[in-house]
Amino acid sequence: MSVAAISTDIVPDAPLAFTGNNGVFRRLVTRGALLELITFGFYRFWLTTDIRRHLWSHTEIDGDALEYIGRAGELLVGFLIAITVLGPLFLAYFVLGLEFERYKAFASLPLYLLLLAFGQFAAYRARRYRLTRTVWRGVRFWMTGSGWSYAARSVLWWLVLVPSFGFAYPWRSAALERYKLRHTLYGRLPGRFEATGWQLFKRVWWVWLLGLLPWLLLFGGFVAAFSTTGGGGQRPPPFGATPGSGMVAGFAIVLGCLGLVALPFLHAVRRAKEWAWWTAGIRFGNIAVACRLRPGGLIGTYWKLIGFGLAVFLGYAAAAAGFTVVLHSPAPVGGPFEMLLHGRLPVWGFAAYLAMYLILGIALGVLARIYTLQRIWQRVVAACAVIHIAEAADVAAAGDTVSAFGEGLADGLDFGL
Amino acid sequence: MFFDGRSSRRRTVALTFGDRLLIADIDAPGGPLASWPYDAIRRVDGAAGAMRLACTTAPPLARLELRDPAIRADILRRCPALDGPGSTSAVSVSRIVSASLAAAAAILAMVWFGMPLLADRLAVVLPYAWERPLGDAVDTRVRALFGAACEDPAGAAALHKLVGRLQEAARLPIAPEPVVLRSNVPNAFALPGGRVYVLAGLLDKSQSPDELAAVLSHELGHVANRDGLRRLLREGGTSFLVGLLFGDVTGSGTVLMTGRLVLSASHSRAAESDADAFAVKVMHSLGRPAAPMGALLQRITGSGEDGIPSILRDHPLTPDRMAMLEADDTPATGPALLAAAEWQALKRMCSG
């Protein structure tokens, strides 16, 4: 059954709905961020659990809401177990890195790849934890497969991706999603992934090229500018010493900067197409998902994120500048910390700078969670519908829970929800 | 609506409130599907507008969904432990906060007291040979930062002679390897593994071999006490532990890093006075006074250029240090460390 056939011929019979309230989520995340600050970050396990519970329980498939049955305590335990593994690993990484650095500056690359593999292993296991804690109609999702196998594939594809400047990304995504979904099951119903890399490539190649363009323009422009200005000596300047080449360089730079403004649009379009492609490729038995997400559907979300982020930054800059003026301090020497050491800054002044910086960090974190997580979830879910949901009417339960080890690793390696 | 936790089949059920909750399928006559004791019923996350219940004695994923307000009121009345263990009741935030603060305090105490102790013990035990890779690793970067080495043979010979005299008195387990780098920052430092760097700026500002020798023996004191390794272990260990345990949350990380910097500044004062004592000891065993170091440092302070990372950034000239150095203005009892010609060669080393 091809993807195109699904979206035009068959009418979806079960809408997906997101019933969550933006304000409720915003309050949840803001409160959570403040608590994270007070508890030195320990609250993150509870916050993550609460966020997932909110998102899951407000997502309804055919009228029945998903349920997240994970608990913060599991995340905490997973994290503690992960530390006992990561501790020695990081130590070994540091010592080995030191040793290799002596021979070649870039000999630490293999070690970086190893860490990357570890990260992918953690991501697979974390996904497994999350899936086994996802219940719909009393039946659990679960996963088979091996985290290391996935990690190996991921790293091999990465080795293809980098030399190709991202060209191979669609095929990499398809291959990894195929592996993940082949090993995903709902009860006794196995999943698979039927979209191909070529399909994704057809939709996003122009976005990718347009995204490269500003960088190429900027790079070319700067190179040209420096060659014309510096070309007075022995070597002849590449553009010839014509007055027009300086203008061309300047023009390229300006175009490049304008192009940078377009990047969020391009990113939003690319993400929307990726979501549409991915959801259309999911199969559980004969059940499929149809996604009506328009390519421009996520643009508003990303621009709001940028807009609010900029506003927060400007607010912080204004506050910090105003504060400096109020303190009547002379031209600052070094950062606030050096000034404190040299006795030029009263302790309360330093505390105020610290507080402003912390608020900045919290605000940006909250914005990121709201816009890159919840809003996107909301839009994608609202645009999707399930086909042949009748197949899910009587799926036998299967599958066991797994520990939150992967989540702990992901947390220790600093990435994840 | 009932899901029995064994398959995804959705059943419409009728409820009977006997001495247990009886759940019977409307469409399938016969015995009840399940009977749930009231005190085992728990509330779990459901859709808005529906109360979703689970039961601790039933299959773990069995769910009952109620939308009728009257039935919900009934449940609320009859089930004493709806939000007990196994439900998704709100966790007590104050308990989490107090537990986190306690854990954080315990970890920080361990780090504040335990890490320096551990670093000290470890630094003494680790063989000197292990410091070499550390010094080597930083060497290229130091040279990139402070310029190329000054290669004048006469100056190099003078420097080696000076350091050789110091090594006779200091008797370090690793022979120090001094290098002069072409930077006009007035500073000198020693890295783990015995590498000693003198920057041309310090050569310019010093006016006698005693001054330079005193500063160099201070740096050699750091090497002897393995301060570089100790500091690396302490700070590296601290930031490693803290980063691992507290995660990468913005905010708490910054607060902790600030504290860590303050911690390392206070600890290094002890290392500084130890290195000063070492310098005094070495100079005295060579029969020279250590006070000239104070004069040199004062000269550098007097130049008044505040932004430069002079030697004072790392070794502030506190009143105590100044007093200690001035008190050591004893006349020289030993031979001069360098002949006048050698001193001139050394001073001129980087002007080529």
Please tell me if residue A85 touches chain B, with a CB cutoff of 8 Å. no
Contacts of B244 in chain A (CB under 8 A): 83, 86-87, 90, 412
> Of B4, B52, B97, which is closest to A39 when you measure between CB atoms?
B97
Higher pLDDT, A245 or B283: B283
CA atoms within 13 A on the CB side of B23: 24
Residue B24 lies in a domain: yes
pLDDT at A342: 55
Shortest Cα–Cα distance, B136 to chain A (Å): 7
Residue B287 lies in a domain: yes
Higher pLDDT, A1 or B180: B180
ipTM above 0.90, yes or no: no
Q: Which of A353, A254, A36 is nearest to B248 (CA)?
A: A36
Letter string b/e over residues B89-122, b meaning 16 or more CB atoms within 10 A of that residue's CB: eeeeeeebeeebeeebeebbeebeeebbeebbee
Contacts of B4 in chain A (CB under 8 A): 138
Beta strands (DSSP E) in B51-134 are 51-55, 63-66
* Strands across the sheet containing A134-136: A64-65, A59-61, A14-18, A384-387, A287-291, A282-284, A189-193, A184-186, A139-143, A134-136, A67-68
Other beta carbons within 10 Å of B62: 21
Structure tokens at B216: 């160099």
Q: By mean pLDDT, which of A122-131, A325-334, B38-47 is the weakest?
A: A325-334
Residue B61 and residue B127 in one domain: no
Cβ atoms A14, A391 nearer than 8 A: no
Domain boundary residue, one of B10, B43, B78: B78
Residue B247 and residue B135 in one domain: yes
Domain boundary residue, one of B27, B49, B78: B78
Contacts of A414 in chain B (CB under 8 A): 247-248
Contacts of A367 by beta carbon, 8 Å cutoff, 6+ apart: A305, A308, A309, A312
CA atoms within 13 A on the CB side of A191: 26
Number of domains composing chain B: 2
Interface test with A, best of B66, B93, B126, B252 (most A CBs within 10 A): B252
Residue B196 and residue B315 in one domain: yes
CATH number, domain of B60, equals 2.30.29.30
Residue B134 and residue B275 in one domain: yes
Residue B83 lies in a domain: no
Q: Answer whether residue A363 shows pLDDT above 60.
A: yes
Residue B86 lies in a domain: no
Q: Answer whether residue A338 shows pLDDT above 70.
A: no
Please tell me if residue A110 touches chain B, with a CB cutoff of 8 Å. no
Q: Please state, rounded to an integer, the average pLDDT across all residues of chain A.
A: 80
Mean pLDDT of A160-176: 89
Residue B227 and residue B326 in one domain: yes
What percent of chain B has a predicted confidence (pLDDT) above 70? 84
Shortest Cα–Cα distance, B99 to chain A (Å): 8
Residue B227 lies in a domain: yes
Higher pLDDT, B265 or B126: B126
Residue B207 and residue B318 in one domain: yes
Contacts of B100 in chain A (CB under 8 A): 38-40, 42-43
Residue B94 lies in a domain: no
pLDDT at A236: 47
Q: Do A395 and B47 touch (CB under 8 A)?
A: no
Residue B127 and residue B273 in one domain: yes
Please tell me if residue A94 touches chain B, with a CB cutoff of 8 Å. yes
**Nearest chain A Cα to B305, which residue?**
A333
**Nearest chain A Cα to B90, which residue?**
A50
Domain containing residue B54 = 2-78
> Of B62, B100, B256, which is closest to A43 when you measure between CB atoms?
B100
Vertex B166 angle, CA B160 and B170, to 5°? 135
Tell the residue number behind the tokens 């989490």, with chain if given.
B96
Residue B72 and residue B133 in one domain: no
Give the pLDDT confidence of B312-334 residue by residue, as tens digits: 555 666 667 777 777 776 777 77
Residue B14 lies in a domain: yes
Residue B195 lies in a domain: yes
Residue B109 and residue B208 in one domain: yes
Spatial distance between the Cα atoms of B69 and B66, rounded to a whole number of angstroms: 8
Residue B49 and residue B184 in one domain: no
pLDDT at A389: 79
- Give the bridge partners for A65, in sequence order: A60
Dihedral of the CA atoms B107, B113, B114, B117 (nearest 10)?
160
Q: By mean pLDDT, which of B46-50, B160-164, B195-199 is the weakest?
A: B46-50
Residue B145 and residue B25 in one domain: no
Q: Looking at chain B from residue 111 to 140, which residues have their Cβ under 8 Å from any Cβ of chain A?
A: 133-134, 136-137
**Nearest chain A Cα to B5, which residue?**
A138
Please tell me if residue B11 touches chain A, with a CB cutoff of 8 Å. no
Largest CA distance in chain A: 81
Cβ atoms B164, B282 nearer than 8 A: no
Give the pLDDT confidence of B200-243 residue by residue, as tens digits: 888 888 888 888 888 888 888 888 888 777 777 777 777 777 76
Q: Answer whether residue A106 shows pLDDT above 80.
A: no
Please tell me if residue A57 touches chain B, with a CB cutoff of 8 Å. yes
pLDDT at B262: 53
Shortest Cα–Cα distance, B143 to chain A (Å): 15
Q: Answer whether residue A350 shows pLDDT above 80.
A: no
Tell me the one-letter amino acid at A183.
H
Structure tokens at A357: 């910086």
Spatial distance between the Cα atoms of B194 and B167, rounded to a whole number of angstroms: 11
Residue B74 and residue B107 in one domain: no
Spatial distance between the Cα atoms of A409 and A123, rounded to a whole number of angstroms: 8
Give the pLDDT confidence of B271-299 residue by residue, as tens digits: 787 888 888 888 888 888 777 887 787 77
Q: Which of B87, B67, B63, B69 is nearest to B10 (CA)?
A: B63
Tell me the one-letter amino acid at A35.
L
- Give the bridge partners for A396, in sequence order: B7
Q: Is A140 exposed, middle or buried (0-12, 13-18, 19+ CB in 10 A)?
A: buried
Q: Which of A130, A43, A178, A81 is nearest to B103 (CA)?
A: A43
Give the pLDDT confidence of A254-286 residue by residue, as tens digits: 888 888 888 888 888 888 899 899 988 888 888
Shortest Cα–Cα distance, A112 to chain B (Å): 18
Mean pLDDT of A330-355: 64
Q: Do A364 and B250 touch (CB under 8 A)?
A: yes
